[in-house]
C-alpha cells in the first residue's frame, strides 16, 4: 500500500507540473493571433480552426492538471 501511495504521489505531482507547463505553452504559442477573428466569427467562434484548437488544448491541459491534483490528493488521503 505504501508503494502505491508513493507512486500515485510522484505521478500525480509530475502530471500536474507537466500540465501547468503545457497550459502556459498553449496560452503563449497557440493563442489565435488573427485580429479579424471577432469581426468574421462573431457568432461562430468555435468554428474558427485556430480558436477551436486553442480551446481544445486548454481543456485537455486543464483536465490533466485536475487529474494530477486528484491523484496527489488521493495519495495523501490514503
Give the pTM: 0.79
Q: Which pLDDT tens digit goes with each residue over 6-55? A: 999 999 999 999 999 999 999 999 887 766 655 555 555 556 778 788 88
SS3 content of the chain, % helix, strand, coil (to 5): 80, 0, 20
Q: Per-residue pLDDT averaged across 50-64, rounded? A: 91
Q: Cell triple for residue 71?
A: 491523484
Using the predicted structure, report yes or no on whether residue 58 has a pLDDT greater than 90.
yes
- Measured between alpha carbons, how far is residue 53 from residues 12, 34, 61 in Å? 26, 14, 12
Q: CB 54: neighbour CB atoms within 10 A?
A: 17
Amino acid at each position: 500500500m505504501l508503494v502505491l501511495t508513493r507512486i500515485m504521489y510522484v505521478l500525480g505531482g509530475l502530471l500536474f507540473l507537466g500540465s501547468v507547463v503545457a497550459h502556459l505553452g498553449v496560452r503563449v504559442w497557440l493563442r489565435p493571433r488573427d485580429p479579424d477573428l471577432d469581426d468574421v466569427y462573431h457568432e461562430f467562434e468555435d468554428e474558427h480552426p485556430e480558436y477551436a484548437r486553442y480551446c481544445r488544448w486548454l481543456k485537455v491541459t486543464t483536465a490533466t492538471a485536475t487529474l494530477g491534483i486528484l491523484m496527489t490528493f488521493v495519495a495523501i488521503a490514503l
